[in-house]
Amino acid sequence: MTPRLFIVGLGPGAEDQVTQEAREALAQATDLLGYGLYVTRAVILGAADQAVPHVTDNREELGRARHALELAMQGRVPVVVSGGDAGVFGMASAVFEAVAEGPEAWRGIDIRVIPGVTAVLATAARLGAPLGGDFCVISLSDNLKPWDVVVRRLRLAAEAGLVIALYNPRSLARPGQLDLGLAALRDVLPGEIPVVFARAIGRPTEHVLSTTLSQARGESADMSTLVLIGCAHTKQIKRPGQIPWLYTLRRVP
């Protein structure tokens, strides 16, 4: 039989935002590979009872990918799990990087990437329609790219008039980078641009803070937060006692 490997996006956290295709892949798993939180979620979501968990740190992506490929060659059915969509700052790119650098035989594996609802899409749905125009997603983590590259991309995205979604905005190891990133955006954008800190969207601990670029502070975010920065064409509809709806114009005047 052709070796098989699944790469599955588990969505942003709510069980009803996990796709049926993802659940079907989990049900076939002989092995689950991923960061501990995601492996635990995969078990709760219905992974096969016999699936063996392989938990690794979130900085061990390439090693995890190689392990999954080796398991597939042994006739196992490994499922590599990520939060959100595995192709958006997730494990899919690590697996294909490992394939490109690995033995020729790995190219014969039937690798299936199962899409998931991303944090930016879940957040946008919660807020209204802030992604109605052009947008981009940028990771603030400098683990895999220099910080000056991050800042340059932020500035260029702002100059281009894109709505910006920030992943990995703040961690214990990087407590000040979000404030530096916001400062870089203030050099380009007016202070009244809307900014939203959306934490744990779809989960019981969900929290949404709506503010402006001039008032935004890094302390409002952690690694479970997605930060959304609007553009000149992002509008607000205020609602009494509730966070405002946001929408971005579909056309650029």
Do 115 and 234 meet the contact criterion of CB atoms below 8 Å apart? no
- Tell me, what's the pLDDT at 117? 96
Residue the block writes with tokens 């588990």: 10
Tell me: the pLDDT tens digits for 215-248? 999 999 998 999 999 999 999 999 999 999 999 9
Choose among 90, 40, 36, 39: nearest CA to 65.
90
CA–CA gap between residue 197 and residue 210 (Å, rounded): 7
Cα-Cα-Cα-Cα dihedral sign, residues 233, 235, 224, 11: negative
Residue the block writes with tokens 């800190």: 197
Q: Minimum mean pLDDT among 35-49, 116-130, 208-222: which range?
A: 35-49
Tell me: the pLDDT tens digits for 185-222? 999 999 999 999 999 998 999 999 999 999 999 999 99
Split at pLDDT 50, 70, 90, the class of 175 is confident
- Tell me, what's the pLDDT at 58? 80
- Tell me, what's the pLDDT at 225? 96
Do 230 and 166 meet the contact criterion of CB atoms below 8 Å apart? no
Q: Which residues contact 192 (CB under 8 A, 6 or more apart)?
A: 212, 213, 214
Choose among 77, 85, 78, 80: nearest CA to 18.
85
Tell me: the pLDDT tens digits for 153-174? 999 999 999 999 999 999 888 8
- Rounded to 5°, the CA angle 142-53-143 comes to 5
CA–CA gap between residue 8 and residue 152 (Å, rounded): 31
pTM: 0.93
180 SS3 class = helix
Whether residue 46 has pLDDT greater than 90? no
Dihedral of the alpha carbons of 197, 122, 42, 96, in degrees to the nearest 10: -90
